[in-house]
Amino acid sequence: MRTHGWRGDPPRDDDEARRRIIDALIRCVDRYGAHKTGFTQVAEELGVTRATVYRYYRNIDELMKAAGFAAAAEFEARITAAIGPLTDPAEILVEVFAVGVEQLPRDPHVGMIFATGRAPMFGPDILSAAALDEMKDFLSRLAIDWTALGYDDGELAGLAEFFMRLLYSYLSVPEATGDDPRPFLRRWLTPALLAKAAP
């Protein structure tokens, strides 16, 4: 790793360099918007050359996806707060999904890849092992007794994949089922999710 540039304060290692590049991207998106942010703006924000940024990220899409995953924890916390009063498992799951569909494209950090029209490029990443593990962990933290509903560890992993596939479908074609996704989700998603509870 080179030690010049970085406004006189070079990162200690590659992991720190990547974190600082992501932080710089987020600041640039806040300042200019996702559509007007590229490697040039990020490099200027860091006080490095574009070539330095390219050493860590192949293109702006890869960098935006990395930033989105880095901001996912804060986004999940907002969803959890939004469903706080709910106790019925079916309504919790419907609301989790609906809030995600409604807010993700408008989130300036997690949703920047969708705001720039690059959603089709996101498919392989949304089904990556890391993304599926994160969704499974998130679902396990909800106020739902998964064991009582018949879900073991493997079933919950399958539900996480189902969620991610459906989420990607909604985000790629948001106008297909109308403005409010809840009626569609209650009719089609809830029976599938609660089927494990049937004797």
Give the integer Cα–Cα distance in Å for 199 and 195: 9
Which letter, b or e, does each residue of 17-34 get, where b requires 16 or more Cβ atoms within 10 Å of its Cβ? Answer: bbebbbebbbebbeeeeb
Task: Please tell me the predicted confidence (pLDDT) of residue 157.
Answer: 94
Rounded to 10 deg, the angle between the 14-32 and 60-70 helix axes is 90
- CA dist 125 and 119 (Å) reads 10
Q: What is the distance between the alpha carbons of residues 74 and 194, in angstroms, rounded to a whole number?
A: 28
pLDDT of the residue at 85: 87
Output the CATH code of domain 6-68.
1.10.10.60
User: Using CA atoms in the order 39, 169, 135, 156, what is the torsion angle rounded to 10 degrees?
Assistant: -160
Q: What is the predicted pLDDT for the residue at 114?
A: 66
Q: What is the pLDDT of residue 47?
A: 95
Q: pLDDT 10s digit of each residue in the chain, 199 long?
A: 444 579 889 999 999 999 999 999 999 999 998 889 999 999 999 999 999 999 999 999 889 888 888 888 788 888 888 888 899 999 999 999 998 888 887 777 776 766 666 555 566 777 888 889 989 999 999 999 999 898 999 999 999 999 988 888 887 776 554 578 899 899 988 888 877 655 5
Contact 22, 70 (CB under 8 A): yes
Identify the pLDDT of residue 145. 93
What pLDDT sits at residue 194? 76
Domain spans of the chain?
6-68, 71-197
Decide if 64 contacts 24 (C-beta within 8 A): no
